[in-house]
Structure 1
Amino acid sequence: MFLPKTETAIPVFVPDPEASYQAYMMKQLPEGLWTTSICECYEDLSNCFFTCLCPCITMGQNSEIVNRGEISCRWASLLHVATGVVLFGWIFGSTNRTSLRQHFSLPESPLPDWSTHLLCMWCALCQEHRELRTRGADPSLGWEGNVSKWKEEAMTPPIVVPRMVP
């Protein structure tokens, strides 16, 4: 319907379609299930390539979010390198994966956390990165960056499982 030339159109607020889509997806996330399988690296090719070249940085980014900023990306990356990315890095990676699973009540699949990181650390890191992004956290922003983003969007942080305090 066209408005006559003498009348002016009233501006209508149209919500940001990307924000609406993200809000919709947050409601559609399967509870207790991974949103992507471990072999779906093609879902985020840039992260896949980056992780293949620098797994310690992806580990650090994921770790900072999973540990709620208690360990910085820099220190987590250095720890991953110091433990030997391929030799013993799987130990550090599996503890982060276990924490991530506990935060979102995800199953220990396709294998136990330690063997997933031992056999295919790169695929595990990519899957964890995708899971964090899908559930509302951007590992590349770091913990403080995500907290700021959540405050601006008036969104509850996606990691809601409280930690036990001794």
Structure 2
Amino acid sequence: MSDWSTGLCGCFEDFGICILTWFLPCVQSAYNKSKADGRDCHCCDGCCYGIVSEYFTRTQIKAKYGIAQDPCNDCCTVFWCMHCATCQHGRQLKDSA
């Protein structure tokens, strides 16, 4: 099992992802979901932004990159630190591309 390429609180490690997540989190989430799925981004991807969609995107990214699954921790992470998790997802997908 591997680990995340950056930590949860490493938002400023990629300033572009940080700014996009801060001002338009639904857009960054849509990019993350489409990259995790290996497809083009659709406008409806951003309409589903929320705790549940971020949780499933997080588990999908973890499975794709061999990161240990921890459902309780993942649920708490997206519930209390959703913007940080969205940034972390974006950095992981960008670093692993």
CA positional deviation for 1:74: 1.3
CA distance in 2, matches of 1:108, 1:41: 22
CA positional deviation for 1:49: 1.5
What is the RMSD of the two structures over their aligned residues, measured on CA atoms?
A: 1.7
TM-score scaled by structure 2? 0.89
The number of residue pairs the alignment matches comes to 96
Partner residue of 1:113 out of 74, 80, 83: 74
Q: Tell me if the contact between 2:63 and 2:69 (Cα under 8 Å) persists in the aligned partners.
A: no
Q: Percent identity?
A: 25
2:63 is the counterpart of 1:102? yes
Structure 2 gap ranges (5+): none
The higher-RCO structure (CA 8 Å, 6+ apart) is 2
2:46 is the counterpart of 1:77? yes
Runs of 4+ in 1 over 4 A off after TM superposition: none
Kindly name which structure, 1 or 2, has the bigger radius of gyration based on alpha carbons: 1
Structure 1 gap ranges (5+): 1-30, 81-88, 137-166
Deviations 1:41-85 (A, max 9, x none): 11111211110111000000000111222x7341110122xxxxx
Partner residue of 1:129 out of 72, 79, 90: 90
CA positional deviation for 1:129: 0.4
TM-score scaled by structure 1? 0.54
Q: Tell me if the contact between 2:7 and 2:88 (Cα under 8 Å) persists in the aligned partners.
A: yes
Aligned twin of 1:42: 12
